[in-house]
């Protein structure tokens, strides 16, 4: 099976406002990303995922979009995106951007017009109710926004907002709204983006189908068909936090979303890490339906949102929360954890490297959040999910190499003290140290890119007697790759039974090991990848 690029991509997720400030105003910007492209490429990255850079009041990190076709002037000039796309292409990197079309900002022209006139053309762009209604679906941020209907004086009606009250929900069943979404997609595809991360994709299905899910799924048939005419290899990466048995509806017959962000696996990665037992992760992987030939799953450790632990059993939920979020201030929305990976693993570089080796052992596309490669921490003094959205720490100079502006002008505060302060955790320090986390993750990513067989269609998980060891086999044509990851701090010897690996070539390991035969040694938090014909 010939793979398409996004089945073999290493994705690096960047918040443009917090990555690198090129002009000294305290905000990261598109030109800042351009200046750091060589660094990003050196990590083995092949695709950038940019969080929203559109005009926005930025009360929700840019997901409150005011104009889908224009760049926020704080983040750059209109031509900067063209420049970024051209420079990325020179380095064989692609750029994925966000389609945020489940809602808009309440400052959007459409909503401002909709409020003014009940019989005007824009009123039906949003969802209204004279008397409000039940909180169905449930609010997304129940501890912050307990209801999904809000009274608007000017409109003399309630409007629906699943997210924040300043983000009214779009009526995706309205053909005029669908036409607007088409216009947005075509605009960015013509510029040369390689794909879209579709925000709140499962809620879009509800809205597009007006409650009829079958009809709602066809929204993605429409998007797929529209984009295939322009660029058949585009990635449509859906934020789909639904039950596993619904996944096939989002893939369709390869004619809807190409790739699903897999929240079920994300939860089970952390359950497995917390219990030092691979079994929950293997069980979760075995539940996944086979994606279409050119489709797949995207896996990650931490992203820009909370680590959502809903859907685990009560016992597992409590175990993970007690281990990784022991303080109430580390928890959010009654369901998740608002921390980055490094502090959850006590800053242990070997443990973080093991977590990334595990991520790259999974049968799909790995996505890494900016700063994860250096073990960046979180800032729990910031509200809600802002805790995991600190500026990138480049070096130990004032401003952390992120910006030359005065710190009070920064888009958000730096992490200045404690074990994760920028003086200790930064790119410059990591680059200088041969065995650093950054170098380990770079080796993992670069090795992974040489393995064309790693995808769900060639995945054969197998269990070994040692419960702390995750083991995966990928069967290519004439060769196979075996991956082992020890989730425990204690070293183990894996009994291989009938499996004879004397001919195997070790292609990656956390450190040097004796040759493998009938058994395989692994350090505490160790990992080894082997290739055999």
Cβ count within 10 A of residue 398:
13
In angstroms, how far is CA 323 from the centroid of its own chain? 23
Domains and CATH numbers, the chain: 7-100 (3.30.750.90), 109-160 (3.90.400.10), 448-532 (2.60.40.1180)
Predicted TM-score (pTM) of the model is 0.98
Question: Could you give the CA distance from residue 162 to residue 441 in angstroms, rounded to a whole number?
Answer: 37
Cα angle 395, 397, 398; round to 5: 125
Is there a contact between 30 and 16 (Cβ–Cβ < 8 Å)? Answer: yes
Question: Could you give the CA distance from residue 50 to residue 237 in angstroms, rounded to a whole number?
Answer: 13
Sequence-separated contacts (24+) of 454-458 with Cβ below 8 Å = 454/8, 454/363, 454/481, 455/3, 455/7, 455/8, 455/296, 455/363, 455/364, 456/288, 456/290, 456/291, 456/296, 456/297, 456/363, 456/364, 457/1, 457/290, 457/291, 457/293, 458/363
Cβ count within 10 A of residue 378:
24
Question: Could you give the CA distance from residue 404 to residue 271 in angstroms, rounded to a whole number?
Answer: 41
For 220, the 3-state DSSP assignment is: helix
The pLDDT, as a whole number, for residue 478 is: 85
Alpha-carbon Rg for the chain, nearest whole angstrom, is 23
Question: Could you give the CA distance from residue 422 to residue 132 in angstroms, rounded to a whole number?
Answer: 47
Q: Please tell me which residue in 239, 241, 306, 349 is annotated as part of the active site.
A: 239
Cβ count within 10 A of residue 493:
11
Cβ count within 10 A of residue 293:
13
The pLDDT, as a whole number, for residue 69 is: 98
Question: Could you give the CA distance from residue 84 to residue 531 in angstroms, rounded to a whole number?
Answer: 37
Question: Could you give the CA distance from residue 275 to residue 407 in angstroms, rounded to a whole number?
Answer: 40
Nearest to 257 by CA among 287, 279, 227, 282: 227
State the DSSP string of 265-303.
HHHHHHHHHHHT-SHHHHHHHHHSPPPPTT-EEEEES--
Q: Which helix or strand (DSSP H or E) is residue 395 part of?
A: none
Q: Number of C-alpha atoms within 13 angstroms, CB side, residue 145?
A: 20
Q: Is 23 left (phi over 0), alpha (psi -120 to 50) or beta?
A: alpha
Q: Please tell me which residue in 29, 64, 98, 199 is annotated as part of the active site.
A: 199
Is position 190 annotated as part of the catalytic site? no
Question: Could you give the CA distance from residue 533 to residue 526 in angstroms, rounded to a whole number?
Answer: 24
Question: Could you give the CA distance from residue 314 to residue 298 in angstroms, rounded to a whole number?
Answer: 26
Per-residue pLDDT of the chain (533 residues; tens, 9 = 90+): 467 999 999 999 999 999 999 999 999 999 999 999 999 999 999 999 999 999 999 999 999 999 999 999 999 999 999 999 999 999 999 999 999 999 999 999 999 999 999 999 999 999 999 999 999 999 999 999 999 999 999 999 999 999 999 999 999 999 999 999 999 999 999 999 999 999 999 999 999 999 899 999 999 999 999 999 989 999 999 999 999 999 999 999 999 999 999 999 999 999 999 999 999 999 999 999 999 999 999 999 999 999 999 999 999 999 999 999 999 999 999 999 999 999 999 999 999 999 999 999 999 999 999 999 999 999 999 999 999 999 999 999 999 999 999 999 999 999 999 999 999 999 999 999 999 999 999 999 999 999 988 989 999 988 899 999 999 999 988 889 999 999 999 999 999 888 888 889 999 999 999 988 889 999 999 999 999 98
The pLDDT, as a whole number, for residue 2 is: 64
User: Which residues neighbour 229 within 8 Å (Cβ) at sequence distance 6 or greater?
Assistant: none
Nearest to 29 by CA among 97, 75, 79, 85: 75
Is position 199 annotated as part of the catalytic site? yes
Nearest to 504 by CA among 530, 477, 472, 479: 530
Question: Could you give the CA distance from residue 168 to residue 270 in angstroms, rounded to a whole number?
Answer: 33
State the DSSP string of 310-379.
TTS-HHHHHHHHHHH--SGGGEETTTEE---HHHHTTT-HHHHHHHHHHHHHSSSEEEEETTGGGT----
Question: Could you give the CA distance from residue 349 to residue 420 in angstroms, rounded to a whole number?
Answer: 12
User: Which residues neighbour 315 within 8 Å (Cβ) at sequence distance 6 or greater?
Assistant: none
């Amino acid at each position: 099976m010939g793979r398409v690029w996004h089945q073999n991509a290493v994705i690096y997720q960047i918040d443009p406002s917090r990555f690198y400030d090129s002009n000294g105003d305290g905000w990261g910007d598109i030109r800042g990303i351009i200046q750091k492209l060589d660094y990003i490429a050196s990590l083995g990255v092949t695709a950038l995922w940019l969080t929203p850079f559109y005009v926005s009041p930025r009360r929700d990190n840019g997901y409150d979009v005011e104009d889908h076709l224009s760049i926020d002037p704080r983040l750059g000039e209109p031509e900067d995106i063209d420049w970024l796309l051209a420079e990325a292409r020179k380095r064989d990197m692609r750029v994925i951007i966000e389609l945020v079309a489940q809602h808009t900002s309440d400052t959007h022209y459409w909503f401002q017009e909709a409020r003014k006139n009940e019989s005007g053309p824009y009123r039906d762009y949003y969802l209204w109710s004279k008397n409000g209604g039940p909180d169905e679906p449930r609010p997304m941020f129940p501890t912050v926004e307990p209801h999904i209907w809000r009274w608007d004086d000017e409109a003399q009606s309630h409007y629906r907002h699943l997210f924040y009250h300043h983000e009214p929900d779009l009526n995706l069943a309205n053909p005029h709204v669908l036409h607007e979404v088409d216009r947005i997609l075509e605009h960015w595809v013509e510029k040369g983006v390689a794909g879209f991360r579709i925000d709140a994709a499962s809620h879009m299905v509800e809205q597009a189908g007006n409650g009829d899910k079958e009809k709602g799924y066809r929204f993605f048939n429409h998007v797929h068909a529209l984009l295939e005419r322009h660029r058949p290899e585009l990635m449509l990466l859906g934020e789909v936090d639904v039950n596993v048995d619904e996944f096939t509806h989002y893939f369709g017959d390869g004619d809807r979303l190409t790739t699903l962000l897999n929240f079920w696996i994300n939860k089970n990665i952390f359950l497995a890490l917390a219990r030092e037992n691979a079994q929950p992760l293997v069980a979760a992987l075995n539940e996944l339906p086979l994606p279409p030939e050119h489709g797949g799953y995207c896996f990650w450790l931490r992203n820009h949102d909370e680590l959502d632990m809903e859907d685990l059993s009560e016992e597992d939920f409590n175990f993970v929360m007690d281990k990784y979020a022991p303080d109430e201030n580390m928890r959010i929305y009654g369901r998740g954890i608002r921390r980055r990976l490094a502090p959850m693993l006590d800053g242990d570089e070997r443990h973080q490297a093991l977590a990334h080796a595990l991520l790259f052992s999974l049968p799909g596309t790995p996505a890494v959040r900016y700063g994860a490669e250096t073990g960046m921490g979180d800032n729990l003094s910031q509200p809600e999910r802002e805790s995991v959205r600190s500026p990138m720490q480049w070096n130990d100079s004032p401003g952390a190499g992120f910006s030359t502006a005065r710190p009070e002008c920064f888009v958000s505060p730096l992490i200045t003290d404690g074990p994760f302060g920028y003086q200790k955790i930064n790119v410059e320090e990591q680059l200088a140290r041969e065995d650093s986390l950054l170098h380990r993750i770079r080796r993992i990513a670069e090795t992974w890119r040489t393995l064309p067989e790693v995808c769900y269609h060639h995945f054969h998980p197998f269990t070994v007697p040692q419960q702390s060891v995750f083991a995966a086999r990928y069967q290519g044509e004439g060769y196979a790759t075996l991956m082992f990851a020890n989730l425990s701090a204690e070293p183990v010897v894996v009994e291989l039974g009938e499996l004879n690996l004397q001919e195997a070539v070790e292609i990656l390991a956390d450190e040097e090991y004796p040759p493998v035969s009938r058994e395989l040694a692994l350090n505490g938090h160790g990992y080894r990848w082997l290739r055999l014909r």
